[in-house]
Structure 1
Amino acid sequence: MLTKEPAKRLSWLRRYRTTILIFVLTLLFVYAFLKPWPYMIYKPGTAEPVHPRVETGHKLDEKGALLFTTVSTQSNPNIIDIIYAKLNKHMEIKSEEVATGGATNLSAYRNLLSWMRDSSEANALLAAYTAMDKTIDVQPQGVIVKALLPDSKARASGLQEGDIITRVDEQETLTSKALSEYLTSKKPGDQVTVSGTRGEEKFETKIPLISMAPDNRTGIGFQNETVLKVTPPDPVKFDFADTGGPSAGLMMTLEIIAQLTGEDLTRGYRIAGTGTISGDGTVGLIGGINYKLLAADREKADYFLVPYSEQNDSNWTLAEQTVEKFNLKPKLVKVSTLQEAVDFLKQLTPKPA
């Protein structure tokens, strides 16, 4: 009887091997479906009018539309999403580390994106009022942590991208200059107490200082920028809370100018575009212009304003390649400054009704 037991076991396995295989495969499939994977999926987002999202207290009847464009992203997708994205020519998969630029975590990355959106709104106001030669109040609010340098000890000490520093030790540091001046009085290895805001919360942490190349200045070791609160004389309000990042800056600025001057810059056309905006009117390069063009084409845009720099024509090159690859309809327009964008729109012959 003992010698027949293995034979019985093998017979049982053969009889139910198909059922067992299906069961195991089902478990693996369920695991892969429920497991969030450390990737981010990119695809075309929206191309929608800026007009309903910007209020200035001035009425303007636009015959066409200024369209701001977005990229749709999905973090921590499941295996089905990943397979679908792999097969879709309009989608792309990136590792979470690449997508976030190596940010400490997704929460830090989202805080940074939120600041970028808020900063874009502030710069749009500053650029618009400067272009119209109107006075606007600007007040510094702190120093944003944009990226931590490889040699910095700040990450290990708890500092994150997107944190806004308002005080070091007992010294108020509301500008990059004030922060730098205070830290240069210290020596590498000294510890400072850094405090400020992290999203809606407050934070405080102690950080050892380092010597920073190329001039051996003492500092924390991060890329930073002064956070500005810009208060216009007009009751301007924005509604972009559901977006992140700075790339709607140019289109926001054009809409502000149109409403405050009472001039319909669309000339009856659907003008899509993208690009960051600086207070001096410089239009900056952005990411994902291929997805934004696809969204603009879907919404039947006539023109697409493309950020352009003679030193870096990557946006323009990718835009041309995307139009050719997918046979898109929008006509591409190079813009390096706000003034170039305004000049282009003003020279358009009004579109027949």
Structure 2
Amino acid sequence: MKMKKLLISIVILVLLGIASIYIPIPGYMVITPGEMLNTKEMIQVDQGTKSKGDYYITSFEQGPANAISYLFSFTGIIKVEPMPPLDEQKMDVEKGKADLENSKLSAMTAAIRKAGKDVKYEHKGWEVLKDDTKYGIKKGDLLQAIDGISLKSSEEFFLPDLIKYYEKKKVGDTVTYQILRGEETLEVKTKLVEQNGQKIDDLNLRLSVKQKAEFQSPVKVNFKKLDLGGPSAGLMMTLDILDELLPEDLTKGNKIAGTGTISADGKVGIIGGENYKVLSTIDTGVKVFFCPKENAKLAQETVKKYDIKVKVVPVATLDEAVEYLRNMK
């Protein structure tokens, strides 16, 4: 009888031990390489011709951390870090959805222009999608400038020169937004903070905005519901749309993956998580991984460290990516 109770106790302890491995660690999340998303399943250009090869959007995923993920974090393939407060998580989701919609518009404009077709695109600013009580921002406000750096003349929310401007400042420095509300121009002050090793202003982290732009195109592009957020799919969406419009097949039958924001005039912008994104190409047959030049070093180091059979190609513009594909053997 005692032996039976002992065995039952041992079994229960073993089961509890196994279960505890999978129980989420409160307050922590895990970042892992995400899946690759084939743009053929996401984008359709009316009267366009699909390439023989494939374009892939790369991603990383976030979720609750557990004991197993904590142990695997020592490999460097995944990362465990504190989970942001719930309200910040909600803001990130909203911002990601808005950024994706902005990226679609920029991708269409850049690709159709590159294909030699007339596109009417006039950027007028960034329209706020939701009130922010902390800073007194109202839905419908138009962001016009940051410390005098115009946002009206740009197709990107994060200009390379704005990022460089922030790099010269210190965390805690004041940043002033110029905002148009109706016919009234307002000034809103915020502070520089640091996120993922990059300086950014606190207001920017809180806002969801959309491009206020006039857009007319001779080409209709259809997007299926995309299960992702943020602007980093911009470059790969642009390449897919462009390839469908051109008589040539830029992929030459290869698998092409990558990441990077895109502006309407074809600039490729900095992103985050490039190490996790390039890790998602392991054993997939991907030949090329495009990424912004600012992200190339970490991506190349990751490829070397884990012996990934893919070539990292840094680009600053859509033109550079297209030129590489045309010369690819």
Q: TM-score of the superposition, structure 1-length normalised?
A: 0.66
The answer to whether 1:345 aligns with 2:325 is yes
AA aligned to 1:303 is V
Instruction: Give the total of aligned pairs.
Output: 281
Alpha-carbon offset, residue 233 of structure 1: 2.8
| Structure 2 residues not aligned, in runs of 5+ | 146-151, 153-177, 193-201
1:222 equivalent in structure 2 = 203
CA distance in 1, matches of 2:221, 2:321: 21
TM-superposition CA deviations, 1:289-327 (whole Å, max 9, x none): 11111112331111111211xxxx3x1110121111001
Equivalent position to 1:125, from 105, 108, 115: 108
1:71 equivalent in structure 2 = 60
In our comparison, the structure showing a higher alpha carbon Rg is 1
2:46 equivalent in structure 1 = 57
Of residues 54-63 and 225-234 in structure 1, the stretch that sits farther from structure 2 once superposed is 225-234
| Structure 1 residues not aligned, in runs of 5+ | 1-15, 167-172, 188-208, 215-220
Equivalent position to 2:29, from 40, 46, 65: 40
Query: Aligned ranges for residues 1-353 of structure 1 at < 5 Å?
Result: 37-74=26-63, 76-77=64-65, 79-86=66-73, 88-97=75-84, 104-138=87-121, 143-144=127-128, 154-155=133-134, 165-166=139-140, 173-174=141-142, 176=144, 180-182=179-181, 222-223=203-204, 227-228=211-212, 230=215, 232-308=217-293, 313=294, 315-349=295-329
CA distance in 1, matches of 2:229, 2:219: 24
Contact 1:122 1:228 in 2 (8 A): no
TM-superposition CA deviations, 1:129-157 (whole Å, max 9, x none): 232343335476962479x9xxxx94387
Of residues 263-272 and 46-55 in structure 1, the stretch that sits farther from structure 2 once superposed is 46-55
Give SS of 1:241's match: coil
Contact 2:24 2:67 in 1 (8 A): no
TM-superposition CA deviations, 1:7-61 (whole Å, max 9, x none): xxxxxxxxx9xx9999999999978965662222111112242122110112424
CA distance in 1, matches of 2:13, 2:135: 42
Contact 1:119 1:246 in 2 (8 A): yes
Q: 1:37 to 1:129 in 2, by over 3 A?
A: same
Q: TM-score of the superposition, structure 2-length normalised?
A: 0.70
AA aligned to 2:203 is F
TM-superposition CA deviations, 1:82-127 (whole Å, max 9, x none): 4354355421112223xxxx89421111001111111111110121
AA aligned to 2:79 is E
% of aligned pairs identical?
A: 27
CA distance in 1, matches of 2:239, 2:224: 16
RMSD: 4.0
